[in-house]
Structure 1
Amino acid sequence: MTPLLQVENLHAHYGKSHILQGVAFSVGEGEVLSLLGRNGSGRSTTLKAVMGLVPPSAGSVRLADQELAGAKPNRICRAGLAYVPEEREVFANLTVDENLRMGEQPATPGAPRWTVQQMFDYFPRLKERRHTRAGSLSGGEQQMLTICRSLLGNPRVILIDEPTEGLAPMIVAQVGECIRDMRAQGVSVVLVEQKLAIALKVSDRVCVMGHGRIVFEGVPAQLQSDPALLSRWLAV
């Protein structure tokens, strides 16, 4: 599979702390890749560095034929990358409808087009709350809204950070179904997910991170069949 997103030798610092130490992975078109690891392993920083929210100190981030390492987040977004932060970051004083409209932009070449109606089909609760200010939504509703707002940017690749954190099981199932449909529509997904069972269920491949590096890459079945690897890098 020809990579759509290719990350090579990615380094990033917070002050003098060397957080990412040569991270490398690739994602094909319509593929779901999960970044797994303990808290502090560098997973969220990887997404932020790819998106330009943390300036990489070295390395390459290529989307198709475009080099994006070091570019501003708005340019990266327009190139076809979207980011769903763990903090959700809705526009609290705007309604659900207004938040969704804020996310709309023309599709980049090769990206599928998404509509507000599709978002309401995924998450009927958002349709019920469409005229409610986003700051009044529950955490689960805000997570739905953030995912949908990002999809309406019509990205080729979407980076999703801890989408099921603190959500009820029914909403977790809806989020998982949405991720699977993104893949079916040809959108590539890079997922950071703490819940191992969910990540293994929705992913085509997984990468395990430790100490700012990729320490394992393979299909979910390989990871599940390696108790020593699970114990060393993922057990709490």
Structure 2
Amino acid sequence: MNEMETPLLDVEDLHARYGKSHVLHGVNLRVAPNEVVSLVGRNGSGRSTTMKTIMGLVAPASGCIRLRGRDLAGARPYAICRAGIAYVPEEREIFANLTVDENLRMGEQPPVAGAPRWTIAQMFDYFPRLKERRDTKAGSLSGGEQQMLTICRSLLGNPLVILIDEPTEGLAPRIVSQVGECIADMQRKGVSVLLVEQKLTIALKVATRVCVMGHGRIVFQGNPAELMANDAVVSQWLAV
């Protein structure tokens, strides 16, 4: 992101704890309008905790979480959602006893000013399998179908920014490709994306910018080419 560009989402000096364990140590992270930022790092580096803290599911110990300049740090998750941030959790958390169609309708809400509008018809265009199973109880869907459903339900909230945590975990290659195409189209239509993705090839393919996390802080920011040219960062923070 250009240093002069006003960020849409601005996380500044964010600290968070689980009990006595200090997990986030001053995270600084910005997402510009119409940008896909991939947040990468080893397991336990703090990526998912960063997402949950932005979303209000983990209370920040200190720091700022600004959306278009409004500080949301410490707000309740429903207020953060209504402000324009959507969240696709790693656990998916669909409503198992509701149909696909009912799950999608649960996600619908009016867009905040400046956010693109999404429709259920668009969701079915992205993932035709969901249209085929629209009257099926969501609990009987495959893991890949549940992931599709969770992404679509979050988009129907008409957000400015969507946080997506490990969307391709355990999915077949064909569905991984569909998810990647969906993320690219979010950006084209004006939704900013903060993505946690363990598969580095996918994270780099969809990202305009990459942030590397290590030990609860951001240790590198740059575009995908800059990251892959930095052998020291890749070796120290990403290599298995």
Q: With structure 2 as the length reference, what TM-score do the two structures score?
A: 0.98
Secondary structure of the structure 2 residue equivalent to 1:10: strand
Matched, 1:155 2:159: yes
What is the alpha-carbon root mean square deviation over aligned residues?
A: 0.5
Equivalent residue pairs, number: 236
Matched, 1:121 2:125: yes
Matched, 1:78 2:71: no
Alpha-carbon distance, 1:38 to partner: 0.2
Alpha-carbon distance, 1:228 to partner: 2.1
Matches within 5 A, 1:1-236: 1-236=5-240
Give the counterpart letter for 1:173 in structure 2. Answer: S
Question: Aligned partners of 1:234 and 1:60: how far apart in 2?
Answer: 27
Alpha-carbon distance, 1:177 to partner: 0.3
Consecutive unaligned residues of structure 1, counting only runs of 5 or more, are none
Question: Aligned partners of 1:78 and 1:172: how far apart in 2?
Answer: 29
Consecutive unaligned residues of structure 2, counting only runs of 5 or more, are none
Question: Aligned partners of 1:175 and 1:28: how far apart in 2?
Answer: 21
Give the counterpart letter for 1:67 in structure 2. Answer: D
Secondary structure of the structure 2 residue equivalent to 1:52: coil
Alpha-carbon distance, 1:65 to partner: 2.5
After the TM superposition, which segments of 4 or more aligned residues of structure 1 sit over 2 Å from their partners? Answer: none
Question: Cα deviations across residues 199-222 of structure 1 (Å, max 9, x unaligned)?
Answer: 000000000000000000000001
Secondary structure of the structure 1 residue equivalent to 2:42: coil
Give the counterpart letter for 1:4 in structure 2. Answer: L
Secondary structure of the structure 2 residue equivalent to 1:181: helix
Aligned-pair identity (%): 75
Give the counterpart letter for 1:7 in structure 2. Answer: V
Q: With structure 1 as the length reference, what TM-score do the two structures score?
A: 0.99
Secondary structure of the structure 1 residue equivalent to 2:80: helix
